[in-house]
Amino acid sequence: MIFGVHDQNTIDQINTVSRSAERTALMADGHLGYVMPIGGVAAYINQVSVIGVGFDIACGNAAIRTDLLASSMTRAQYEDLADEIQATISFGVGSVNRSDDAPIDDPLFQDPAWDAVPAAYRERLRRKARAQLGSVGGGNHYVDVFEDDSGYIWVGVHFGSRGFGYNVARGFLALAQGGEWNGRAPEKETLFALDTPIGAAYWELMSLAGRYAYVGREWVARKVVEILGAREKELVHNHHNFAWRESHDDADYVIVRKGATPAWPGQKGFVGGSMGDDSVILEGSSDPAATSDQQQALYSTVHGAGRVMSRTEAAGKSRGRRGRTGRPGKVTREMMREWIDQKGVTLRGGGLDESPHVYRRLPDVLKAQGNTINVIHTLRPIVVVMAR
């Protein structure tokens, strides 16, 4: 089933995936990805798609509702909060956690799944993973502070398994194509049967990356709650780049969601808009009238607003060598600043390729999902911190 309106290239991608999958669905925030579109969901029998799970294994969102009212803080205090978040939490590609209380001794680092990494690369990858745990990364990854419809502050974060997950994905793509773990291989469909040694090894490390991402997101979100001097009242947490073993219509599948949020009846999820738009806490509908569409969606929903503009299209192409000028983008710093100022958002970091102009509007994609979901809270952004 396809929710919403999409360009033909995105539709072609999900149709190609459907040739090897038992069932597929495309969420309303879908757009072009590597082989499988972002917003795509695919069901396989005893197989997992490495490129479907993607390079940012276990990318997802976590949100914490606090006991603090947004009205209890002044604009100047929010400005100071933004500075402190930026100084405390590490952002950017390759960034490492600088905090003394980083969760580097988490039991996940002793998990037997590490043995699935070839011995020559295992300890180097484990060291990298330790160093990066609790750092946020670049691109569209963020730490946000919101006000909900009852006036309470929420802290929301979006990122995944950092360099650990990326290296796992790259390693298994290379192995599947006859290369070495540290080699480069083209992005192409790679399906592993789970009852084969390589499939079992990938599943173990994918699952470990899932644990890693959960620990990292919860540490960052709770660190910001600590900075606020608030108390945690509720946690909503979910992956949206992952694979799960699930039963649908009395059949057992491996469900791969690439930029799609699990949304079983009553299951809560945090879905972000953009740096200048509202986000939401939602749940899968429990209305029997929604069951048919939910089944066709494989009990999934959107993970964000969805891009309508590529990064290069938005920000342009950088200046080339020998004085050659690059191609200008469609979004200017002035356009982004005007949008952010009108919304009253305190922004730290964030590039033109993440401006609100490059995304759909979240209410539109939620509406396109029909009655499969219910919005529980609308979250207005107050502070947004991203990589510079």
Q: Which domains does the chain have, with CATH numbers?
A: 8-386 (3.90.1860.10)
pLDDT computed for residue 328 by the predictor: 87
Side-chain half-sphere of 320: how many Cα atoms within 13 Å?
7
Q: What pLDDT is recorded for position 337? A: 95
Token reading at 331: 């979004």
Residue 214 φ then ψ, to 5°:
-60, -45
Q: Which residues pair with 255 in a beta bridge?
A: 43, 244
Average pLDDT by consecutive 10-residue portion of the chain (388 residues)?
96 97 98 96 98 97 98 98 97 94 96 97 97 96 98 98 98 96 93 98 98 98 98 98 97 98 98 96 98 98 95 82 69 95 96 95 97 98 95
**pTM for this structure?**
0.95
Which residues, 6+ apart, have CB-to-CB distance to 381 below 8 Å?
144, 145, 146, 273, 275, 276, 277, 278, 279, 343, 345
Q: What is the pLDDT of residue 317?
A: 79
